[in-house]
Amino acid sequence: MITATDIKLRRAENRLEVSFSDGSQASLPAEYLRVESPSAEVQGHSPAERQLVAGKAKVGITGVEPVGNYAVRLVFSDGHDTGIYSWDILHRLGREQPQRWAAYVKRLDEAGLRRD
């Protein structure tokens, strides 16, 4: 089981840096974390209910709150605060960032939406 060994909020860079027990690290932009939020508001209760979140290019992370020993709750500058980011989710988001980001930008384009 992967755990986070260090988490740093880099406000000036608008990103969350996470080190993991397997030695890997992830530098996750706030916008990416916001649009990939594990909350039901974004993910829905099934893949068909997943929401495409646009207009978050300037969103920031205003808070990082521990949830037990397994996750953090991120508070975003747009008021979103319902996503619980487990260590596994953060690890996966870091590992899959290039593919997930490309797919997100493509979905936005296909929907005629913008990041800003």
Segment 33-47, tens digit of pLDDT: 999 999 988 998 888
The structural domain count of the chain equals: 1
Which residue(s) pair with 20 in the sheet?
4
In the block, residue with structure tokens 């596994």: 88
Encoding tokens for residue 77? 């500058």
What is the extent of the structural domain holding 78? 4-111
3-state secondary structure of 52: coil
List beta partners, residue 71: 67, 86
Do the domain assignments include residue 105? yes
| Max CA distance (Å), the chain | 40
Q: Give a yes or no: residue 116 inside a domain.
A: no
pTM listed for this prediction? 0.95
**Residue 92 in domain:** yes
* Residues paired with 75 in a beta bridge: 63
pLDDT tens profile 59-110 = 999 999 999 999 999 999 999 999 999 999 999 999 999 999 999 999 999 9
How far apart, in whole angstroms, are the C-alpha atoms of residue 13 and residue 30?
9
Rounded to the nearest integer, the mean pLDDT of the chain is 96
CA torsion, points 42, 107, 74, 14, in degrees to nearest 10? Answer: -160
Between CA 69 and CA 106 the distance in angstroms is 35
CATH of residue 81's domain is: 3.30.2020.30
